[in-house]
């Protein structure tokens, strides 16, 4: 599935008070990799920006005086996101603002983003996985070891790039230890059937064993330290190793 990680910055909130989108940032993910394709634009909102919003993203009216309006980029933006799964942190906020922008220029058929995109709220996903914990983007970066050191202020493109890393980290682990197949061996009633065991020939060519280098081991130790710092406890395999040694 083609995925687009999306973020916006606005003049303030809520949208019902006439606030507008002033920045859109999107990055494309395919096959669990960033493709390098992105959509990024600053927008002239034709209204003042709240001081509280400026404190968050640092964008002023002076910065936007020569920028395009949403109507100037609407077609390009629509083509970039159409048919993709949108990954958005606190999706109702961004989707509501973008729907309003399409409506204001009379493109009401595009205002319902869910009619041509699948919308995934990464904040809701994080709350389900980590109930009772802080699930802001910064908190998730700390939890999953994602580098957000360049995030002094919010920015739509930077935040979408960081969120892409967080999403891939949240969804990158093995989730199923079943020996069932990939769904192609169904029994006709929607139930998955075990994949038959395939024996390898005894005279097959032996695989090459590549030992970890000193650099590999050092990187592994550093990664364990990062996990321990983020989780507040040693990684499970480190605990098991300590138990075996004692």
57 is in an annotated binding site: yes
205: which 2 tokens? 């060519």
The bridge status of strand 21-30 relative to strand 3-10 is antiparallel
Question: Which residues partner with 39 through β-bridges?
Answer: 26
Identify the domain containing residue 225 by its residue range.
Answer: 214-245
Do residues 63 and 159 both lie within one domain? yes
159 is in an annotated binding site: yes
pLDDT one-digit tens code per residue, 138-185: 999 999 999 888 665 678 898 999 999 999 999 985 433 333 444 444
Tokens 């942190």 correspond to what residue?
89
23: which 2 tokens? 């920045």
75 is in an annotated binding site: no
Question: Which residues partner with 33 through β-bridges?
Answer: 30
Do residues 149 and 221 both lie within one domain? no
Cβ pair 119, 88 in contact under 8 A? yes
Do residues 37 and 136 both lie within one domain? yes
**Residue at which a domain ends, from 120, 151, 171:** 171
Q: What are phi and psi of 5, to 5 degrees?
A: -90, 125
Do residues 159 and 234 both lie within one domain? no
- Domain contains 71: yes
- Domain contains 161: yes
User: What percentage of the chain has pLDDT greater than the value 70?
Assistant: 76
- Domain contains 181: no
Cβ pair 97, 14 in contact under 8 A? no
Active-site hit among 40, 130, 154, 220: 154
DSSP output for the chain = --EEEEEEEESSS-GGGT--EEEEEEEEEETTEEEEEEEEEE---SS---HHHHHHH---HHHHTTSPPHHHHHHHHHHHHTTSEEEETTHHHHHHHHHHHHHHTT-HHHH-GGGTSEEEEHHHHHHHHSTTS--SHHHHHHHHT---TT-SS--HHHHHHHHHHHHHHHT-S------B-SSTT--SSS---BPPP-PPPTTSPPPPP-PPPHHHHHHHHHHHHHHHHHHTS--HHHHHHHHHH-
pLDDT one-digit tens code per residue, 92-149: 999 999 999 999 999 999 999 999 999 999 999 999 999 999 999 999 999 999 988 8
**Residue at which a domain ends, from 171, 186, 205:** 171
CATH number at residue 8: 3.30.420.10
What's the pLDDT band for 227 if we cut at 50, 70, 90? confident
Question: Based on the structure, what is the number of domains in the chain?
Answer: 2
Q: Average pLDDT of 204-224?
A: 77
Do residues 81 and 153 both lie within one domain? yes
DSSP output for 103-126 = HHTT-HHHH-GGGTSEEEEHHHHH
7 is in an annotated binding site: yes
Active site residue 130: no
Do residues 48 and 165 both lie within one domain? yes
- Domain contains 190: no
Q: Which pLDDT score is estimated for 25?
A: 97
Do residues 86 and 13 both lie within one domain? yes
Structure pTM? 0.69
Q: Shortest CA distance to 159 belongs to which of 1, 2, 9, 3?
A: 9
Do residues 47 and 133 both lie within one domain? yes
**Residue at which a domain ends, from 171, 192, 225:** 171
- Domain contains 195: no
Q: Shortest CA distance to 92 belongs to which of 11, 16, 29?
A: 16
Do residues 42 and 153 both lie within one domain? yes
């Amino acid at each position: 599935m083609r995925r687009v990680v999306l973020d916006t910055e606005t003049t303030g909130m809520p949208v019902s008070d006439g606030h507008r989108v002033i920045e859109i940032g999107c990055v494309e993910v395919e096959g669990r990799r960033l493709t390098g394709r992105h959509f990024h634009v600053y927008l002239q909102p034709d209204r003042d920006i709240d001081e509280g919003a400026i404190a968050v993203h640092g964008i002023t009216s002076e910065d936007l005086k020569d920028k395009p309006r949403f109507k100037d980029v609407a077609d390009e933006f629509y083509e970039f996101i159409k048919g993709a799964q949108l990954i958005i942190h606190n999706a109702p906020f961004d989707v509501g603002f973008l729907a309003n922008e399409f409506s204001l220029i009379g493109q009401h058929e595009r205002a319902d983003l869910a009619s041509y995109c699948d919308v995934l709220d990464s904040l809701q996903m994080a709350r389900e996985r980590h109930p009772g914990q802080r699930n802001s983007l910064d908190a998730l970066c700390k939890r999953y070891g994602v580098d957000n050191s360049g995030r002094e202020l919010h920015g739509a493109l930077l935040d979408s790039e960081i969120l892409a890393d967080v999403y891939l980290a949240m969804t990158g682990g093995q989730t199923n230890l079943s020996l069932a197949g990939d769904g192609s061996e169904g029994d006709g009633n929607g139930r998955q059937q075990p994949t038959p065991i395939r024996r390898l020939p005894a005279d097959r060519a032996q695989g090459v064993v590549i030992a970890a280098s000193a650099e590999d081991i050092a990187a592994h130790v550093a990664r364990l330290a990062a996990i321990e710092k983020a989780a507040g406890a040693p990684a499970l395999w480190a605990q098991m190793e300590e138990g075996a040694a004692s």
